C-alpha cells in the first residue's frame, strides 16, 4: 500500500472501520513509515480528547420543559422570527405567573421556580431498554440483585426474604429512591 493511500485510510483505521485486508495493509505500512505512525498517534489522541468530553449538563429547567411539551397556542404566532421565537411565544402565552422581575427572562427559568423537585436521577426503563450511559451510574445494586436471585438455587433459603432483597434492588436499578434503613427492633 502506498504512503498516500495509507494516509487517507488512517482515520478509518483509528475507528477500526476498515476491511480485514485494508487493516493488514495499513498495519504493514505503519511498520515502515514513521510519518504515518506519528499521524496515527495524533489521530488517536485527538479522538481520545473528544471522547473524554463530559456530557453537557442540561440546565434544570430543561427537564421540566421537555417532560410535558407545551403545544402551540391556537392564536399567537411568534412574531420574532425563527422557531426559537415561536417556542418563546408559546411559553409566554401558557405560563402566566405573577412573579415580578422575570418578565422578559427566558420562560424556562419561570418553570424552574415552579418545578423544583424534578429528580434528575430518575432512570426508568421502558420495555427493558437502558440508556447506555447510565450503566456507569449503577453501583453495587445490580450485583446484589443477581446474587439474591441466585440465592434461590440454594435449598431452604427463605423466599420472602429473597423477594424483599431482590425487590429492593430492582427499585434502585430502575432509578427510584432506595428504601430508608429500617427501625431498630432490639
The answer to the question of residue 127 lying near other proteins (CB under 8 A) is yes
The answer to the question of residue 158 lying near other proteins (CB under 8 A) is yes
Sign of the dihedral through C-alpha 126, 127, 133, 139 = positive
Angle (nearest 5°) at CA 179 between 115 and 173: 80
The answer to the question of residue 74 lying near other proteins (CB under 8 A) is yes
**Which parts of 159-178 interact with other proteins (CB under 8 A)?**
159-168, 170-171, 173-174, 176
Nearer to other proteins, 98 or 126 (CB): 126
The answer to the question of residue 128 lying near other proteins (CB under 8 A) is yes
The total of other beta-carbon atoms located within 10 Å of residue 92's CB is 16
Using CB under 8 A, which of 71, 79, 103, 116 touches other proteins? Answer: 71
- What is the rounded CA–CA span in Å between residue 31 and residue 51? 27
The answer to the question of residue 77 lying near other proteins (CB under 8 A) is yes
The answer to the question of residue 1 lying near other proteins (CB under 8 A) is no
CB of 120 to other proteins, least distance (A): 10
Residue 92 is placed in which grid cell?
Answer: 409566554
The answer to the question of residue 182 lying near other proteins (CB under 8 A) is yes
Residue 57: DSSP 8-state: P
CB of 28 to other proteins, least distance (A): 21
The answer to the question of residue 181 lying near other proteins (CB under 8 A) is yes
Map residues 86-115 to x or -, x wherever contact with other proteins holds by CB under 8 A.
Answer: -x------------------x-x-------
Q: Is the separation of the CB atoms in 61 and 114 below 8 Å?
A: no
3-state SS of 73-118 is CCCCCCCCCHHHHHHHHHHHHHCCCCCCCCCCCCHHHHHHHHCCCC
The answer to the question of residue 30 lying near other proteins (CB under 8 A) is no
Sequence-separated (6 or more) residues with CB below 8 Å from residue 47: 14, 15
Which of the stretches 21-29, 42-50, 97-105, 109-117 binds other proteins when contact is defined by CB under 8 A? 42-50
Helices 82-94 + 107-114 axis angle, to 10: 40
CB of 4 to other proteins, least distance (A): 13
Amino acid at each position: 500500500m502506498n504512503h498516500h493511500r495509507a494516509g487517507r485510510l488512517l482515520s478509518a483505521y483509528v475507528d477500526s472501520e476498515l476491511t480485514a485486508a485494508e487493516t493488514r495493509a495499513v498495519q504493514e505500512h505503519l511498520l515502515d513509515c514513521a510519518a504515518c505512525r506519528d499521524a496515527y498517534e495524533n489521530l488517536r489522541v485527538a479522538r481520545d480528547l473528544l471522547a473524554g468530553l463530559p456530557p453537557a449538563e442540561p440546565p434544570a429547567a430543561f427537564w421540566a420543559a421537555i417532560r410535558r411539551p407545551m403545544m402551540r397556542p391556537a392564536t399567537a404566532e411568534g412574531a420574532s422570527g425563527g422557531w426559537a421565537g415561536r417556542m418563546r411565544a408559546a411559553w409566554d402565552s401558557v405560563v402566566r405567573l405573577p412573579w415580578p422581575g422575570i418578565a422578559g427572562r427566558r420562560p424556562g427559568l419561570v418553570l424552574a421556580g415552579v418545578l423544583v423537585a424534578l429528580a434528575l436521577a430518575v432512570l426508568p426503563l421502558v420495555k427493558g431498554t437502558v440508556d447506555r450511559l447510565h450503566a456507569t451510574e449503577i453501583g453495587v445494586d445490580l450485583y446484589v440483585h443477581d446474587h439474591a436471585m441466585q440465592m434461590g438455587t440454594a435449598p431452604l433459603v427463605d423466599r420472602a426474604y429473597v423477594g424483599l432483597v431482590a425487590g429492593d434492588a430492582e427499585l434502585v436499578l430502575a432509578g427510584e429512591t432506595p428504601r430508608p434503613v429500617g427501625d431498630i427492633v432490639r
